[in-house]
A and B are shown apart, each in its own frame.
Chain A
Amino acid sequence: MFVTLLILRNAFRHKLRTTLTMVGIVVAIVAFGLLRTIVDAWYAGAEATSSTRLITRNAISLVFSLPLNYEQKLRQVPGVASVAGANWFGGVYITESNFFPQFAIQPEHFLDMYPEFKISAEERKAFMIDRQGAIVGRKLADKFGWKIGDQIPLRGTIYPGTWTFNLRAIYDGADAKVDETQFMFHWALLNETVKARFPRRADLVGWYAVEIKDPNQAAEISQRIDATFRNSLAETLTETEKAFQLGFVAMTEAILVAIQAVSFVIIVIIMAVMANTMAMTARERYSEYATMKAIGFGNGFVAFLIFAESVGIAIIGGALGIAITFPVANAFGAAMGTLFPVFYISDETILMQVAAALVVGVVAALIPAWRAARVKIVDGLRAIA
């Protein structure tokens, strides 16, 4: 009780100094949490993948397609449970700034392979029977105020013309990691239209999602698939869905490394600021510490007072910072729109924020506590004069 009282009163002896230090910690913890969340958002696609799914694409580049008849051959590869083709559509909804990912999918198998997209049975049925039907994620529907039955026009960029879809289903993610900003429609519609307008581009699939029976055999099955199409006109590259997603992340890895580095630099800066504050605080109190030691309090007790004060300030600042990170992240995520479709503060980020606050508190107190503990009583008492 006495010790707690002493620590609290010491901590708030210079209210402005303590408040400014806390504000610094709050800002640092919020910035740290936000930057970590941005990095997490970048990896969200990879995090939401399934170990039972492989992606088979053209070995040259994702830009090149695969023949439609590969689907049947893929099904015959031992270990393969299901196959669904998909294409990137790349349409524009009103203006380019309304970007969201659009895929033409073969829904008969695709929807079963992606159980994380939760769709009601009625809506799924309505989508399946409407060739112009579309499925969108809840966030996307909310963003544009779409309701079931609405018509959604997209201006094709890869596939020119105006494409009008009927919104038949809205999916919810099974958890926070699932991207709820996707737009999916029937691959058959795409193929029929392309066949009519650009016959040479018909019957081509962007990539195949391949469901496998045993995730432990992913490597062997990938090799089997690629061996099947070796020396063909369209050789394949098969990899796990996670590796496929990480391939996109790798394109921007330098940016991610920079963001991560900045997040840690922020913590180091606040650590230096806090250490300076604690050093100044301890130096001002040398005579008090010397008096306490003269009375009979040990060196360890004096060091503990400084540590506790520093860690206390850091914890309060850290807790406020963590609390503020949530509304800040929500506002940031909303402002970014579909650029970061999955934007949430992970438990790991919160733990890292807590750890960062603790480390700041402890490290900032190390040298001041060591000095205060070591200062000779006679020297400390002289400091008052």
Chain B
Amino acid sequence: MNDSSEQQSIVAIRGLSKHYVRGGQIIPVLVDINLDVAAGDFVALMGPSGSGKSTLLNLIAGIDKPTAGQILVAGIDIAQLTEGELAGWRAAHVGFIFQFYNLMPVLTAFENVELPLQLTSMSRRERHERVDTALALVGLSDRSEHYPNELSGGQQQRVAIARALIADPTIIVADEPTGDLDRVTAEEILGLLTGLNREIGKTIIMVTHDPKAASRAARMINLEKGVLVD
């Protein structure tokens, strides 16, 4: 990749490797990964279990550290950031959607969506306006005062999507976002993600092993045994 392509890419990965040491043995998970994701792209990372797709997503999201290589997100090599710097960086640049929604059970849908904004200097009024907008976007305005255990799986995932969006992050990372949902609900969630990508231009990187889910993405990337395959 040349410099100009790096500038166009919102995510540029160069020579990325990750291995674990277990019982004195080195176990490679990702080997010399080079990848570019353009701004506004919707990428599906596919591969069988153990292929390293979740690890790659974690590295892009800055919640794991590579063994070697560069991960440039919006021009910042996050592999060089300290843990503290990464926390601040994630707050500003990454929106997370998890397979099991990962909502705070003691917070209402509204408060869960508001959570990332607690890290900003926004006024209470501004925060509430944003949360109202995000909940309306995912079609849950009427469930804002409900706690996660009062919502269905699909509704919880919608809340999680609103939470991922709320701070207007550079990228949204989704790890098996439909993995815990039935087919109909999964389609709704995928439709929502597709809409966010197409209508708002959000860059989404999604891990899935479901070809149907992957087909909703603009681009599919396959991983096998830690190596990108065409």
Contact = CB atoms under 8 A, between A and B. Distances in A.
Interface in A364-385: 376-378, 381, 384-385
A2 B163 CA distance: 16
B118 A2 contact: yes
A376 B20 CA distance: 14
B102 A296 contact: no
B88 interface: yes
Chain A, interface size: which category?
Answer: 20 to 34
B96 A385 contact: no
Contacts of A376: 64
Nearest to B119: A296
Interface centre among B83, B84, B87, B105, by most chain A C-beta atoms within 10 angstroms, is B87
A299 interface: yes
The 4 closest A-B CB pairs, nearest first, are A296-B91, A9-B106, A377-B63, A291-B102
Interface residues of B, number: 28
Contacts, number: 65
B116 interface: yes
B63 A378 contact: yes
A294 interface: yes
Contacts of A6: 104, 106-107
Given A6-B107, A295-B91, A295-B96, A381 B102 contact: yes
B116 A288 contact: no
B140 interface: no
Helix, strand, loop or mixed for chain B's interface? helix
A293 interface: yes
Contact of B64 (A296, A297, A378): A378
Interface in A286-306: 287-288, 291-299
Nearest to B63: A377
Interface of B: 58, 61, 63-64, 83-84, 87-88, 90-92, 94, 96, 98-100, 102, 104-107, 111, 114-116, 118-119, 163
Contacts of B114: 2
Contact of A295 (B64, B84, B90, B100): B90
Contact of A299 (B83, B96, B119): B83
7 contacts: A2-B111, A5-B111, A6-B104, A288-B105, A291-B102, A292-B115, A385-B100
Given A299-B83, A377-B64, A13 B106 contact: yes
A381 B98 CA distance: 9
A2 B113 CA distance: 13
B190 to A, nearest CB: 21
Contact of A297 (B96, B100, B119): B119
A288 B102 contact: yes
A294 B83 CA distance: 11
Contacts of B116: 295-296
Contact of B102 (A9, A287, A299): A287
B139 to A, nearest CB: 22
Contacts of B96: 291, 294-295
A9 B90 contact: no
A10 B104 CA distance: 10
A296 B64 CA distance: 13
Nearest to B124: A1
A294 B99 contact: no
B102 A10 contact: no
